Amino acid sequence: MNLRDALRLYLVTDPDLCGPGGLVSTCEAALRAGVKFLQLRDKASSTGDLVRTASELLKLAQAHQCCFVVNDRVDVALAVGAHGVHLGADDMPVPLARKILGADPVIGVSVRTPEEALTAWKEGANYLAANIVFATPTKPDSRSPLGLSGVERLARATPLPLVAIGGISRKNAGAVIRAGADGVAVVSAIMAAPNPAEAVRTLLEELG
């Protein structure tokens, strides 16, 4: 599967939202149901705990032909052999991450403007994330939502695959795709769902 196809439904983890089965079992259910791109996002855990979780998730991803990246932490991605990293505006610059990781790993970058998108593309990013599209409780301190018009502008800015994140649910996922995104990234829509596998199947139906 190519990167653009894998990004169609992109799961971002949140250890505080997952059900009683825990983060790894929630991710396993989602991957079994069809998620092909998984990001480990955990701002609170120690490096040791992150490495342990990343190692477990990488094994799951490999078993289900899923791309696995680590949010922010280039060191953790490198330590476990993850497929790549996702970087925000305040994280390591793309050229330095590329120098550390090498030519093959995937590097995604969160962007808000066409100018930021162009810079990330020129610096060697593999995909972009429109961050954030709709207001979301998982990122309460984020700046104003981009909306569908923001997705349209970013989709036109570069030839890179674009995934939209922030407040995505089955009710608006189709509209985001029609606005030009190649895929949607979700957190609570899957992580907090009573039945993560059913949530994945519903979202995939909406995405077409």
Specify whether 139 is catalytic.
yes
Mark residue 166 as left, alpha or beta (left: phi above 0; alpha: psi -120 to 50; beta: remaining).
left
Contact 203, 8 (CB under 8 A): no
Query: How many Cβ atoms are within 10 Å of 113's Cβ, its own excluded?
Result: 13
Spatial distance between the Cα atoms of 104 and 139, rounded to a whole number of angstroms = 30
Catalytic residue, candidates 41, 73, 98, 112: 41
Specify whether 41 is catalytic.
yes
Catalytic residue, candidates 8, 98, 110, 112: 110
> Which has the closest alpha carbon to 13: 3, 27, 34?
27
Phi/psi of residue 162, each to 5°?
-125, 130
Catalytic residue, candidates 4, 32, 59, 139: 139
User: Residue 128: enclosing H or E segment and its boundaries?
Assistant: strand 127-131
Longest dimension (CA), the chain: 43
Specify whether 149 is catalytic.
no
In which residue are the tokens 């939202």 written? Answer: 17
> Which has the closest alpha carbon to 165: 149, 176, 154, 180?
176
Which of the residues are catalytic? 41, 110, 139
